[in-house]
Structure 1
Amino acid sequence: LPLIARDLVSGGPLTYGILLGCFGLGAIGGALMNARVRERLTTETIARLAFTGFAVSASVSAVSSSALLTGAVLLIAGASWVMALSLFNTTVQLSTPRWVVARALSLYQTTTFGGIAAGSWIWGTTADTHGAEAALLASAVVMIAGAALGLRFKLPELQSLNVDPLNRFSEPDLPLDLKPRSGPIVVLIDYEIAEDDIPEFLEAMTERRRIRIRDGAGQWALMRDLENPTIWTETYHVPTWVEYVRHNQRRTHADAANGEKLRLLHSGAEPPRVHRMIERQTIVPHEYERFKRQADIH
């Protein structure tokens, strides 16, 4: 903005202050309009308009020699900037399960401010090499590309997501006296799937894999019985028993549809059978003695 004020509109410190004030007024206006705009437009539409509005503002600022015109389009830039950032912040919060929302927000904030730092260096270098006008036009092209990216990767509609805990899991009674840190735990779930339902089952299992890994499972795999091809087994690992309990408690209302779909695809007379197992390592005697000596040394 200082380069715009000095080089493109031939102004001084006062011009810079006025242009910065226009950007700030636009940001205030965008914040005031935010709630009303969200009532009328979808999340993805708002994001695309914000990207496009900022791109238009950058393009006009690049070719304008009038401080009045540049100040006017900076109002649009300020509104677009604050609406996009607040929208992304809200989307991250409301589309993330409650148990991991703090970590998701920290990653989002790190990425955002890291992007601002990287963008400042990239466009500053471009302006230094090719001039402020070229840097603004190039950044406008990138912002239009960002808006177009939404055609392929859309932001989730917040009203369609319920990421509150499902709270359907009850810890099973076990004959073994497991401690919270007992493990590793291996879980196997057997499904009986008709041949015609296999494509739909595999699609549902792709979503199930994402949910499992998000909730802390490892070594997820889907296997098919060679001797009885209608039997499919989902398997995954968790480090300890308490992690297995937490894994199940992390399931959300939005995940429930996936579980219901898999139960409907299961064609067995009984519900899918769940096997909960604990891994045990076997060590031959001479290896055990060596292992014990090494442990005594350490």
Structure 2
Amino acid sequence: MLWVATVLGNIGSFMRDVASAWLVTDLSASPTAVALIQTAATLPIFLLAIPAGVLSDILDRRRFLIGVQILLAGVSGTLLTLSAMGLQSVESLIALTFIGGIGAALMGPTWQSIVPELVPRADLKNAVALNSLGINIARAIGPAAGGLVLASLGAATTYGVDLLSYAFVITALLLWKRPPATQNALSEDFLSAFRAGLRYTRASKELHVVLVRAAVFFLFASAVWALLPLVARQMLGGSASFYGVLLGAVGAGAIGGALLLPRLRTRLDTDGLVLLAAILTASVMAALLLAPPQWAAVLLLLVLGAGWIIALTTLNGVAQAILPNWVRGRGLAIYLMVFNGAMAAGSLGWGLVAQALGLQGALLISAVGLTVMAFVFHRLRLPKGEADLQPSQHWPEPLVAEPVAHDRGPVLIQIEYRVRSQDRPPFIDALKRLSAERRRDGAYAWGIVEHTKEPELLMEWFQVESWAEHLRQHHRVSQSDADLQGELLKFHIGPDKPVVHHYLSL
């Protein structure tokens, strides 16, 4: 039900985007003005992605999504009114597109975060692919329908259809019987959740790799999206309906690419898939330089859609797979921030390049740059995403003489190990790997010290900001982390388990 509603809602959104992108070419011939529409749509996601991810993790996701849909419906209603009254301008289009981008920023991480709630973990990658397939079904239908409605009935009617589509999405969300989120004394407030999300991102090397690979790809690939309205109008001599057909071809190609993905995954790993997507995208941009006939341009956009869906699904699927549930909204928000930041900066940059060197010059530079960077960063391997991130719940509750207020802190945790001198190098290597887990789950400082009198006595220490945050660590430790901690215990030679001490700041 939610998937179908998403398809219908995205059809309306793509119709709105076609109307806005084409309408700005009627109001201004400047490549910069046209590219600013793309920038206005993606810049809010770059600016607000992290706060949106925090809200996704601490609020009821269903109610939050309903509120965002109402905001987006208001944007489309305003666009409809201005267009019907003949008051639309470049400034109003950019401003309303920016507000719509705010709604998209709030919705993006939340909508993606609910996918693991709807399917078993074993089906997650296929569910992410199905989600992307739904978006591209909408991309195949929405732009073409938007172009036809725009050409025959005008912008106001096109915006009206988008306004109607929100009713389907809101209805589906109202019918979704999502179990209410449990509130307890350890529930995070906005600021603590914000800091925890930043700490996790800073400590997760796997997420860093995904973010770098995504930024490089989308920074160069954004050129074709930013300049496509001008390519359709000036280089290919097309109308609004032809521009819609081109975008529809992207969606149709994405559907084909999504259907081919299971077969491609048997032949290529995730790095090979991203490289393939870059080559396909760069090839399309290079071919558009030749100003091909309109029918050939449609075929090229089919290829672009296949390359685009391969990149989106692969990178998004890896990001989903490496994030535990407690921080999934915030982690995906960081991913979306990088994705949309690259799209926004790239769109504006390629618009300025096209202003200075022409459309062909911008497309040539972006195609060559994407190809070169794809091979350069191919050596930075994407994570497998196969670790078990379910909470292990194997940490015993800390012993206290009397109840501790949750806001007490900072908290210092010390763990004493006894390790033979010959085992010290592998033990320290394993402990340093464990340090990333400590930092991801809440520690802001970490270290190892040795006893001056007893060289076999080593102590690991880390600090967290409050007692509540340390208790949250107990619930965040994953099965994969528990396995790593089990490796450490093999080196411990004491008669009992390592001794743990907790200290509170006075």
- TM bucket (normalised to shorter chain) is 0.7 to 0.9
**1:154 partnered with 2:381:** yes
Q: Name the SS of the counterpart of 1:234 in structure 2.
A: strand
1:121 aligns to what?
348
Could you tell which deviates more after superposition, 174-183 or 234-243? 174-183
Q: Aligned pair in 2 of structure 1 residues 63, 260: CA closer, same or farther (>3 Å)?
A: farther
Q: Distance in 2 between matches of 1:197 and 1:63?
A: 65
Q: How does 1:198-209 map to 2 (within 5 A)?
A: 198-209=424-435
- How far, CA to CA, are the matches of 1:149 and 1:201 in structure 2? 35
Task: Report the Cα distance in structure 2 between the residues aligned to 1:208 and 1:145, rounded to whole angstroms.
Answer: 36
State how 1:122-201 maps to structure 2 within 5 Å: 122-158=349-385, 160-201=386-427
Kept after mapping to 1: 8 A contact 2:414/2:502? yes
**Alignment pair present for 1:226 and 2:452:** yes
Seen in structure 2, the aligned counterparts of structure 1 residues 66 and 200 have a Cα distance that, compared at 3 Å, is farther
Residues of 2 paired with 1:199 and 1:151: CA distance? 32
SS at match of 1:191: strand
Residue aligning to 1:90: 317
* Higher Cα Rg, which structure: 1
CA distance in 1: counterparts of 2:408 and 2:246, whole angstroms: 63
TM alignment of 1:1-298, pairs within 5 A: 1-9=228-236, 11-13=237-239, 15-38=242-265, 40-63=267-290, 65-158=292-385, 160-280=386-506
Structure 1 residue 15: Cα displacement? 5.0
Whole-angstrom distance in 1 between the partners of 2:434 and 2:462: 11
Work out whether residues 186 and 238 of structure 1, in 8 Å CA contact, stay in contact via their aligned partners in 2. yes
Summarize the Cα distance change of 1:205–1:103 in structure 2 as closer, same or farther, 3 Å threshold.
Answer: same
* Separation in structure 2 between the aligned mates of residue 177 and residue 18 of structure 1, nearest angstrom: 66
What's the Cα RMSD here? 2.4
CA distance in 1, matches of 2:424, 2:378: 30
Distance 1:232 1:126, change over 3 A: same
Q: Using structure 1 for the length normalisation, give the TM-score.
A: 0.83
CA contact (8 A) 1:42 1:157 kept: no
The offset of 1:20, in angstroms, is: 3.1
Aligned to 2:84: none
Point out the more displaced range, 109-118 or 207-216.
109-118
Q: Tell whether the 8 Å contact from 1:48 to 1:150 is kept in structure 2 after alignment.
A: no
Aligned residue in 2 for 1:290: none
Larger relative CO (CA 8 A, sep 6+): 1 or 2?
2
- Structure 1 SS opposite 2:369: helix
> Do the aligned residues in 1 keep the contact of 2:275 with 2:378 (CA within 8 Å)?
no
Q: Which amino acid aligns with 1:277?
A: Y
Structure 1: gaps spanning 5 or more residues = 281-298
Residue by residue over 1:33-79, the C-alpha shift from the partner in whole angstroms, topping out at 9 and shown as x without a partner, is 33443455322222221122112222222245344443323211111
The verdict on how the C-alpha distance between 1:225 and 1:29 changes in structure 2, with shifts beyond 3 A counting, is: same
Q: Report if aligned partners of 1:192, 1:232 keep a CA contact under 8 Å in 2.
A: yes
CA distance in 1, matches of 2:364, 2:232: 16
Displacement, 1:134?
A: 2.2
Q: Percent identity?
A: 34
Q: Report the Cα distance in structure 1 between the residues aligned to 2:376 and 2:474, rounded to whole angstroms.
A: 34
1:256 & 1:53 partners in 2: Cα distance? 42
Separation (CA, whole Å) in 2 of partners of 1:79 and 1:206: 41
Q: 1:17 deviation in Å?
A: 4.3
CA 1:181–1:189 in 2, change beyond 3 Å: closer, same or farther? same
Counterpart Cα distance in 2 of 1:135 and 1:235 = 53
Which range moved further: 265-274 or 13-22? Answer: 13-22
Residues 243 and 63 of structure 1, relative CA distance in 2, 3 Å threshold: same
- Cα-to-partner distance string for 1:246-273 (whole Å, 9 max, x where unaligned): 1121011222232122112333343322
Cα distance in 1 between the residues matched to 2:428 and 2:293: 59
CA distance 1:7–1:167, change in 2 (3 Å)? same
The structure in which a higher percent of residues are helix is 2
Distance in structure 2 (CA, Å) of the matches to 1:47 and 1:57: 16
Alpha carbons 2:394, 2:482 under 8 Å: kept: no
Distance 1:251 1:88 in 2: 25
SS in 2 for 1:237: strand
Residues 72 and 216 (structure 1), Cα distance of their counterparts in 2 relative to 1, 3 Å cut: same
